[in-house]
Structure 1
Amino acid sequence: MRIRPDTSGFQPDGDASWVDPSTGDRMSAHFFDLVPSLPAGLDDVPRLRYELAVQTAEVGGLVEAFVVTLDGVPALLQVVKLPLPDRPGQVFVASVTVPKAESSVVLKLIAFEGSMTGAREAALLSDTISETGSPDAFYSPHPYAPGTQPKLPWHRGDDPRLDQRFPDHPLSRARRWLRHVLATAKLDPAFGALPAFGSPVSVAIGLPIGPFLPLWTVNEQMTFWRLQDADAVRALLGRGGTDRRPVTDTEGCEAGWLYPANGVLVLSPGLPPVPVTPVSDETAYTSLTSEEIVAAFDWIGELSVAAGERAEMLLVRTASTADGADKHVLMALQVHDGDRANPSCVVETSPIPAGAQFWDTLPPLPTPDTAGFARVRDEDHARTDGRLTMWAVQTWDVHPFRLMLSYKPNPDLR
């Protein structure tokens, strides 16, 4: 385990999970082999707290967040309150996250209210009325994000100075557990020595669709990022000005450096930095429209034209070996009889896109498991390349987000 908590008083309850038999509180340890999706770096506490409060407001409320040290390594402490889904009451989720440049570990405690709910709040509300003559002072604007309206508002009962008065309340138990964790939990030394969160991460550029951009780390892990100006980013990609990462000896994909804590993607020292915001996989996958997917492939067709003008071939391929590394569409210009002024437009794909629109009408190529189409270059060059590519890709059973564009020299034009 990359993080080892003190499990005294807890009983095993599954893999890296424990339960306190006296309270029912559940502790668990987690490792995430992904770039952390924290909205700010640990060195920017005001922004970090604000963004976390905004994110949590839709489902419950952020009670508190602090930057702390666990086993000598910077970490994020959080307490969140959520409504119970199946009965009255609340659950308090306390966590300590140790983020690194490309991964993180989390220790978490889930503490439920019992059958008697709201006792802490009721007692303090009564105190408030006695002291002020009104219940209004019980609730306060959120201390980190005053303009938000959390589903569970911040109130007097969230104050840690009241834990001693209500020692058995789940919020008091959660804070007591956090203090114990910070004093006793140990990190695996190899994990503790990894580059800190906020260090730049080398990423390969996925296929931007709508406002979302997937980024791939060197170990083929994908994260999603929302673009502030998606059209401006698409205007930077595929034009030969970005950095590249080798795919083979002669082929490379566009790449860059992600600064996750700052929300910045650098495509090249000569290009403007790209502001990005982390989003969940679910948000990216469920927010797309069919029109945005079609527009992405029309854009790919435009890039095939630009690649030809640079004497390069453009390939659309699966980004992960898990999706089949041999699946690709190649778009290129081909010279016949030395007539470089009038090259043909060629689109080849493997595997053969059985059942795909248009592709089913073509005879097979001599090359096994490959289909291709060549035509005279015309003003509809870009749209034709894009649509042929889309129809082929649709037979791969691979979501377009799991694709990548790459480039290699075109010997016919060199």
Structure 2
Amino acid sequence: MASVDSLTFDLTDCKLVRHAETERIWVNADRVAHRLTFDQGVIYWPFDLTDPNAAQVFYRQECEQNRGVMLEMYPAPIAGVEGLAGVFKYRSPAPGSRGMAYIGILWLPFQDCRFQVNVEAVEQGNTGMREAAVMVIEGDKWPMDPQAEIPVINNQEELDAMHAKALGRPLRRLPSDDAKCDASFPQHPLSLVRAGLARVIATAQLAPDARGLLPHRISR
């Protein structure tokens, strides 16, 4: 019978920090977390992977409802098994932080169970450096919020108020979020998440007890 141990992948340099019946969590030296979960039972997806466009619409909307933004989504088959992968951006959950949290996810959905691998990293310390550097390169191509006039900041309180207002705005996919920027910022959390997710997809293997599972399908 399939279990959380039926899916394995490369975890070089990762340390196990949680071992539960249906969950494993590892963290590496770059503070990138790898979380594997195994859900038994029929999954909630209102689509299946014969319709990748429906998957994109569903997760784009779900991400926006959680005040995030979907950066990308693509099919990710594992040894002939249907898979789906995506990368998402949210605001950091750390109180007072202006940084971002990045999550890469691999789903392997079956008729009666699902494997999910999250690769997660949070921006810490100096934030916004990737965005600032790419903004200089992009120049006028960088998307700007429409405003009647350039704001004048007279003191720290006004600056804090401006940042607080910005935190309430919906997140957007920026030019600096593009995968082509990862090589220039290899230690950025987004680059680390993409690299970690790619490694999971490239090395993932299913044990024999999971190879006979039927793919997830919905009635049409």
Q: 1:98 aligns with which of 95, 102, 108?
A: 108
Q: 1:111 aligns with which of 118, 121, 128?
A: 121
Match of 1:43 in 2: 50
Name the amino acid aligned to 2:115.
V
Match of 1:151 in 2: 170
Name the amino acid aligned to 1:10.
C
**Residue 92 of structure 2 corresponds to residue 78 of structure 1:** no
**Residue 61 of structure 2 corresponds to residue 54 of structure 1:** yes
Do the aligned partners of 1:58 and 1:151 also contact (CA within 8 Å) in 2? no
Name the amino acid aligned to 1:7.
L
**Residue 142 of structure 2 corresponds to residue 127 of structure 1:** no
Name the amino acid aligned to 1:152.
L
**Residue 76 of structure 2 corresponds to residue 68 of structure 1:** yes
Do the aligned partners of 1:39 and 1:52 also contact (CA within 8 Å) in 2? no
Gaps of 5+ in 2: 146-168
Q: In the TM superposition, what is the alpha-carbon distance from 1:35 to its structure 2 partner?
A: 1.6
Identity over aligned pairs, percent = 24
Alpha-carbon distance in 1 for matches of 2:70, 2:110: 23
Match of 1:10 in 2: 14
Q: In the TM superposition, what is the alpha-carbon distance from 1:34 to its structure 2 partner?
A: 2.4
Do the aligned partners of 1:41 and 1:197 also contact (CA within 8 Å) in 2? yes
| Cα RMSD after superposing both structures | 1.9
Helix, strand or coil for the counterpart of 1:197?
coil
Helix, strand or coil for the counterpart of 2:184?
coil
Match of 2:162 in 1: none
Q: In the TM superposition, what is the alpha-carbon distance from 1:49 to its structure 2 partner?
A: 0.5
The 5 A counterparts of 1:14-413 are: 14-15=18-19, 16-21=24-29, 23-59=30-66, 60-85=68-93, 86=95, 87-129=97-139, 132=140, 135-136=142-143, 151-198=170-217, 259=218
Larger Rg: 1
Alpha-carbon distance in 2 for matches of 1:101, 1:81: 29
Which digits, 9 at most, give the CA deviation of each residue in 1:137-163, with x for residues without a partner? 79xxxxxxxxxxx93111211211111
Do the aligned partners of 1:99 and 1:105 also contact (CA within 8 Å) in 2? yes
Q: Show structure 1 runs of 4+ deviating over 6 A.
A: none
Helix, strand or coil for the counterpart of 2:76?
strand
Change (3 A) 1:124 1:40: same
Helix, strand or coil for the counterpart of 1:13?
strand
Alpha-carbon distance in 2 for matches of 1:116, 1:43: 42
Alpha-carbon distance in 1 for matches of 2:46, 2:128: 32
Helix, strand or coil for the counterpart of 2:197?
helix
Name the amino acid aligned to 1:169.
H
Match of 1:211 in 2: none
Helix, strand or coil for the counterpart of 2:196?
helix
Name the amino acid aligned to 2:26.
W
Name the amino acid aligned to 2:124.
G
Q: In the TM superposition, what is the alpha-carbon distance from 1:3 to its structure 2 partner?
A: 0.9
Match of 2:148 in 1: none
Do the aligned partners of 2:142 and 2:175 also contact (CA within 8 Å) in 1? no
Q: In the TM superposition, what is the alpha-carbon distance from 1:36 to its structure 2 partner?
A: 2.0
Change (3 A) 1:137 1:160: farther
Alpha-carbon distance in 1 for matches of 2:9, 2:190: 20
Gaps of 5+ in 1: 139-149, 199-258, 265-414
Alpha-carbon distance in 2 for matches of 1:171, 1:159: 10
Alpha-carbon distance in 2 for matches of 1:137, 1:46: 29
Do the aligned partners of 2:101 and 2:122 also contact (CA within 8 Å) in 1? yes
Do the aligned partners of 2:26 and 2:34 also contact (CA within 8 Å) in 1? yes
Alpha-carbon distance in 2 for matches of 1:156, 1:32: 35
Do the aligned partners of 2:143 and 2:174 also contact (CA within 8 Å) in 1? no
**TM-score, normalisation: structure 1:** 0.43
Do the aligned partners of 2:8 and 2:206 also contact (CA within 8 Å) in 1? yes
Do the aligned partners of 1:17 and 1:28 also contact (CA within 8 Å) in 2? yes
Alignment: residue pair count: 186
Name the amino acid aligned to 2:143.
D
